[in-house]
Structure 1
Amino acid sequence: MAGGQHDGVEQEFLTDLSRLGALHQAHLARKWSLRAVARVIGLSATTVSEWLKGSRFPQQPDAFTNLITLLRAALAEAGIDLPPGDRHLLDPDAWRARHQAVARQRAEAVSAGIRRAQAAAALADAEVRARFAALPDKPRPVAAWTAQQLGVHPAIHGTTDGADSAFVLPDYIERDHDRQLRARLDKAAASPQTVMVVVRGESCTGKTRTAYEAVRACLGGWQLVFPKDADSLLALLATDALMPRSVLWLNEVQDFLAGPVGEAASAALRRRLEEPGPGVVLATLWPAYHRALTTTPEPGNDKRPHARALLGPVVPVDIPGLFTAKDLENLRAGAHSSLTVADRTSPGGTITQTLAAGPQLADHYEQAVLPYGPYGKAIITVAMDARRLGHTSPLPAALLKAGAPGYLTEQQCAAADPDTWFAHALDYARTKVKGVAAALEPVADPNGMGALPDVYRLSDYLDHHARTIRCNAFPPDSFWTAARDHAASTADLEALAEAADQRGRYGIAADLYQRAADAGGTGALAELAWRHGRAGDLGGAEQLYQRLIDAGDTGALAELANLRQRAGDLDGAETLAQWAADAGDTGPLVELAWRRGEAGDLDGAERLALRAAATGNINALVRLARRYEEAGDLDGAERLAQQAAHIGGRDAVIRLARARERAGDAEGGKRWRQFGL
């Protein structure tokens, strides 16, 4: 039976019920009220009323049949003889058969709906599984993650009988910041939105352990996904695989937001926070990185607007570096051997740092002992300088080896065995202090088990340590040569070049930029082009900008237009400026219009200003109108101002009027207000 027929059968049933209700109202309501009828058949008066209005299908078939029987007897007792067309309304058997037919029809409809829902759910489930299968890092239940997998540092062994390779996780001591963080997560779990939570603290203060314990306590029934790099994060967000009731775990979030694709990752995370929840993006980072990513830059030097917009509104949960007296009291109430040793050996309450062997690791670096310590210290220092100056990728062994000689004395270099010194240096740098942490650590293979060959990661604590002890140190020549020849990526080369440039080593910076440009780095190519132009080498700069344009960099059109303009080729500059405007950058057109006006070519200036205004940029029109005004051509000024008001709105001209008035030029302000009418 078709859906329309089904609907018709039920509607006819309900229509007849309403006719039966009309008969009750006309002939029986005084003697048999709805309340009296309902009492007899054991239902509420409201239910009986809805039945007899035809607004509700009876769900109790026996009570419904009793209602028909009661009304039939009452009408017979009252001597009411119905017309032949209505007599079927008092036949209990007929009603029972009709009720069964409608009930079957309704059951079939529900069953079909369930089957459709099940099919849709199966399809959606298959789509989700397909999306998840393509991800390098997949969501898993929170309970399926271990502290070690989520980046918690192993603690020192409290006894000497444990295996050196064992992962030690001491008893957890809750502190004030734990209560703050858990309150945030509880609130996020009840929110309809996705919420970002930031845990901020110095190296080895327990940020990751704090976050791990809080997620387990507050969001234990959720899913958690831990992308290992920015590319994995972007893939996760692009496939929309982050479902509600999920934690996105971003340990050391600066590695995601400050790298080559940091702005893309920041923008994707901002979009995710606009999606329905509940969901949590949980990030940990150091205060210095938080400051670098959230501080408002100087005008024209904003390299991370999305990262700042992402982190700026979030009030971090700060992790103190020291245990308070109360914290130490709670610690001493436990019996875990690691905490006992940490308490005994931690000056000033630096419990977590000691647990992760930070001070001992720094001592291992600073007090490098013979015969191989100085060589180990040299390659560790290369790694320190590379990291603090912007090399964010894993550090190639070739870079460490080539950079080391400049950190050694002539005697140390002469005493080194050319065939074995580097192997011994690596052994020293990879020695685990207290069986926990090493200065140089292996980098896990993202595609399988084991470590990537010939690359290393500097210990987090030593990275932090280096930014204090070497903040003013400039690396030797061997470092820069090694960086030029062995840096892991063009982004690393560009970052190191920028660091050299900021320190006034322009020749080194140019050398690194050139190497990055040769390797395909468009940022380096743009920097070199700008440098050539600044040095007066317009031909060399134009060649470099042309390479950028050929590579699809529309921003280079504007720079090349400026070069042509400075060279006096205004027609060529105008052509390039128009191309830049077509690509969305009207700045060169505005600049050319101003220069034409400066040269006295007001017709040319107006033509260019109108072309810029056609794309929505009225600045050139306004500036030219002011020039006309200052020259006494008020008609020309009014004509251009009116065109600016027509394109940019009257407010655009009124703002200029207010600026004149603030400068004390009341008459000029009055004229500009009139221009905007």
Structure 2
Amino acid sequence: MSISSLADESVGAPAKRRRLGVSTLTPESDSDPSRARTRGELGAALRALCHHKGMSLGEIEQQTKGWEKPLRPLKSSTLSNAFTGKTLISQEFLVGLLTLFEAPESVRRLWLHAQARIKDAEHGTTVHRVISVNRFDTASPRDLGIHSAIITPDTTDELPAYIERDFDFRLRAALTNEGPTRGCFVILVGGSSTGKTRSLYEAIHEVAPNWHLVQPAETEELLELKDHPPSQTVFWLDELQRYLGSRPPLSLECVRALTRKPNIVVGTLWPDQYDARVIPRQSNTGTDEADDVRRLLRSAIVISVEEDLTPDELERAHGLAERDTRIRIALRTRDAGLTQVLAGGPALVLRWEQAPDPYAKAMITAAADAHRLGVQSPLSESLLAGATFGYLRNALRVTPPDVWLAEALPHATRPLHGNVSALSPVDGGRPGTLAGYTIADYLAQHLRRHRRVECVPHEAWRALVAGLDRSADLRRIADSAAARLRYAYTEQALERLVDEFGDGAAAIELTHLLIRQDRFQQAVMVLRRRLEVEPRDRAAGRRLARVQELWQRVEEIRPAAHAGDPAARERLTEILADGGVCDDLRTRAKTGDALAAEELVERLVDRGRLRELRQRADGGHLYAAEALADLYVAWGDVDLLQARARAGDPAAELRLSKVHEEGVRTAGAESEAADLRAAAGGDPEAARRLCALLFELRDRAGLRAELEAGTYGAADRLIALYTAEETVPAEQLANLRAFGLTADGAPITPTPSP
């Protein structure tokens, strides 16, 4: 039975108790907080409390909708997550709930003590949970992330025979190079199912089989060990991106602290994940955390694992094939590499392509898209069902989910050649529990390429934003939505990060989005709520002051803009779009600040603001003239360049002479774009260069495809191209910049304010 149905049952018993003068908040056996020891048990007690009170989640949300500080409205989605144990209810929400229920002080203390006790217990057991008493050689290969291999009738071992790799000696040397007193940090970089994890497993089995093993579930577990690290311990960080992309991410300081003692820290990464973090972005948008992650990766000993075996490795494989049927079968397969075949890769792709059950294919596609958007935790059955709905044809949507789930899940999780399956169940940390399902790496990588520019349906976005219960996953969903201009889902994800996880950075990011949409009042409320929860958040305090200053500036401009003044309207639109950055730079430039004037020119170029760029160039600003001439060269606008040269523009004259000597890019640029497009799926730096080139080629369709792929910078480049070409009406362009697109890629038209 759902929480809402439980809460909506008959209220006769609570009403009777009220008539008898019995407090509905007096702890009873099923709603006694003193019995709760976990967030799930506390959630069950809260659910029982609401049931005794006779209020549904919808009624609670409705009755608290108008609450103002120090109380906050109680959202049903947030309460639902707390009641089911997905999240621990915050102290602020708990106080609000008890206030609504008119709880006496003695009862309040019981509930608040229970919440604090569980919070402290969860924090205090983190280190205990991460320090393992198991030796490395007692761990099963499957638990360490080694892909299940194909199975043949004569299979007796869990793993096929190990094929020695050319890098094995270098790997073992890296693991033992520092001697007995210091540790090491080693990363294997390679594609899915190339043998990275198996090679690490074999190497550590040889050099440190009796050391302790630590497999942290979250980065925080590692960060808490840096002050008192153990020794002779293997820190196994398979799929290292999980720890680098968390909030906070794994830090260089932490790894250095762990390796000052004889510990081994090892991880695996796909090439695109490694490149995305180790290669600096061309624009100056890096953060301290990103810089630290970059230094961390550069401090590691990195060993590359190629997609295909080398001739020497193949020769060793043929030798092993005489006694291992699985290797013999893999060697005979011509359409995939040996390691991929051993992991069942081609069969997984065929299972998706030729799925006899359309519901199973839709479910696998939904899981692959979730992976493409950055989700790394298992997907629950209810989340999968909600997301899958968006991939079904209309005729298939009529069947109730309970019916098609019973058929689709067995197909999607059915093993191929043994234990290799498209979706694999993941336990919830206790015997007999199910956390959800994860997609096979090889299939995820294949579908990432296959569906790279496909739109993710609304139902999938909605299910992910509402159903994910890890802050790191929500953060990645927010970023993925923003990169694709799906701001509605960005807003929802950021709201959950703020309300349920107390994420101060998300609160600030949310205000940037709200200001672009001219929603200053909501932005102020977000920051004030943040400061009520965390008064010492200086960043939120500074942001609040900035938002209030911008709001005042906008209100001063608004009457003239509404009266039809084009200059005021353009200024108002720009302030909303960039949070007043260009407006501030323009003011500083007028006072003679040369650096501000140059930065303003750079931003005008980045945003395609050619009219103002030409005005500044015509006004004698040399930096603006050079930037404009460079843009004309990149676009091949020789006629415009010649016109400026004839008018006496020295920057245009210089570049025109170079154009005559070197020629304008034509077929060469198209060929370069084709090469970058082929590499962009796995190389983020190539993707960024591709966006810059597509802007220079004025390739709107190409930039739109990169936007759908979530490529960094594609959205900004596309909007800049629309601005420069003036092919999209200014009002529509402002709406696109502020409100973005629907799930299926249509521009969102905002509802007029009453």
Q: Which amino acid aligns with 1:404?
A: T
Quick one: percent identity of the two aligned structures? 32
Tell me how far apart the structure 1 counterparts of residues 524 and 327 of structure 2 sit (CA, whole Å). Answer: 64
Matches within 5 A, 1:268-347: 269-273=254-258, 276-297=260-281, 298-302=283-287, 303-334=289-320, 335-347=323-335
1:526 aligns with 2:508: yes
**Structure 2 residue aligned with 1:389:** 373
**Structure 2 residue aligned with 1:409:** 393
Instruction: Describe the SS at the equivalent of 1:565.
Output: helix
1:184 aligns with 2:174: yes
Q: Which amino acid aligns with 1:432?
A: P
Per the TM alignment, residue 515 of structure 1 is displaced from its structure 2 partner at its CA by: 4.7
Q: Which amino acid aligns with 2:255?
A: R
Matches within 5 A, 1:351-362: 351-362=338-349
Tell me how far apart the structure 2 counterparts of residues 500 and 344 of structure 1 sit (CA, whole Å). Answer: 43
Contact kept? 2:465, 2:489, Cα under 8 Å: no
Q: Which amino acid aligns with 1:362?
A: V
Q: Which amino acid aligns with 1:344?
A: R
Q: Which amino acid aligns with 1:480?
A: W
Q: Which amino acid aligns with 2:137?
A: A
Contact kept? 1:140, 1:224, Cα under 8 Å: yes
Alpha-carbon spacing, 1:247–1:346, altered in 2? closer, same or farther (3 Å): farther
Alpha-carbon spacing, 1:595–1:222, altered in 2? closer, same or farther (3 Å): same
Deviations 1:9-61 (A, max 9, x none): xxxxxxxxxxxxxxxxxxxxxxxxxxxxxxxxxxxxxxxxxxxxxxxxxxxxx
Contact kept? 1:148, 1:167, Cα under 8 Å: no
2:525 to 531, 536, 543: 543
| Structure 2: stretches of 5+ with no match in the other structure | 1-123, 554-578, 592-754
Contact kept? 1:441, 1:456, Cα under 8 Å: yes
Per the TM alignment, residue 510 of structure 1 is displaced from its structure 2 partner at its CA by: 2.8
**Structure 2 residue aligned with 1:233:** 222
**Structure 2 residue aligned with 1:563:** 547
Tell me how far apart the structure 2 counterparts of residues 389 and 133 of structure 1 sit (CA, whole Å). Answer: 31
Alpha-carbon spacing, 1:285–1:597, altered in 2? closer, same or farther (3 Å): closer
The CA RMSD measured in Å over matched residues stands at 3.3
Compute the TM-score of the two structures, normalised by the length of structure 1: 0.59
Tell me how far apart the structure 2 counterparts of residues 152 and 397 of structure 1 sit (CA, whole Å). Answer: 24
Tell me how far apart the structure 2 counterparts of residues 406 and 389 of structure 1 sit (CA, whole Å). Answer: 16
Per the TM alignment, residue 153 of structure 1 is displaced from its structure 2 partner at its CA by: 1.9
1:213 to 202, 206, 209: 202
Instruction: Describe the SS at the equivalent of 2:251.
Output: helix
1:474 aligns with 2:460: no
**Structure 2 residue aligned with 1:144:** 138
Alpha-carbon spacing, 1:184–1:489, altered in 2? closer, same or farther (3 Å): closer
Matches within 5 A, 1:455-604: 455-522=436-503, 523-552=505-534, 553-568=537-552
Deviations 1:464-504 (A, max 9, x none): 22221111111112112222332233443332232122112
Matches within 5 A, 1:23-38: none
Matches within 5 A, 1:658-673: none
Instruction: Describe the SS at the equivalent of 1:504.
Output: coil
Tell me how far apart the structure 2 counterparts of residues 398 and 436 of structure 1 sit (CA, whole Å). Answer: 24
Per the TM alignment, residue 210 of structure 1 is displaced from its structure 2 partner at its CA by: 0.2
Alpha-carbon spacing, 1:461–1:521, altered in 2? closer, same or farther (3 Å): farther
Instruction: Describe the SS at the equivalent of 2:420.
Output: coil
Contact kept? 1:135, 1:235, Cα under 8 Å: no
Tell me how far apart the structure 1 counterparts of residues 447 and 257 of structure 2 sit (CA, whole Å). Answer: 35
Contact kept? 2:366, 2:387, Cα under 8 Å: yes
1:160 aligns with 2:153: yes
Contact kept? 1:200, 1:317, Cα under 8 Å: yes
Q: Which amino acid aligns with 1:339?
A: I
Tell me how far apart the structure 1 counterparts of residues 590 and 310 of structure 2 sit (CA, whole Å). Answer: 71
Matches within 5 A, 1:114-153: 134-153=128-147
Larger radius of gyration: 1
Deviations 1:350-388 (A, max 9, x none): 11111110111111012111xxx2101111111111121
Compute the TM-score of the two structures, normalised by the length of structure 2: 0.53
Tell me how far apart the structure 1 counterparts of residues 473 and 126 of structure 2 sit (CA, whole Å). Answer: 31
Greater relative CO, 1 or 2 (CA 8 Å, sep 6+): 2
| Structure 1: stretches of 5+ with no match in the other structure | 1-129, 570-587, 601-677
Contact kept? 2:166, 2:313, Cα under 8 Å: no
How many residues of Structure 1 are paired with residues of Structure 2 in the alignment?
Answer: 437
1:260 aligns with 2:247: yes
Deviations 1:384-419 (A, max 9, x none): 1112112222212112111222212123334x3554
Per the TM alignment, residue 521 of structure 1 is displaced from its structure 2 partner at its CA by: 4.9
Alpha-carbon spacing, 1:547–1:177, altered in 2? closer, same or farther (3 Å): same
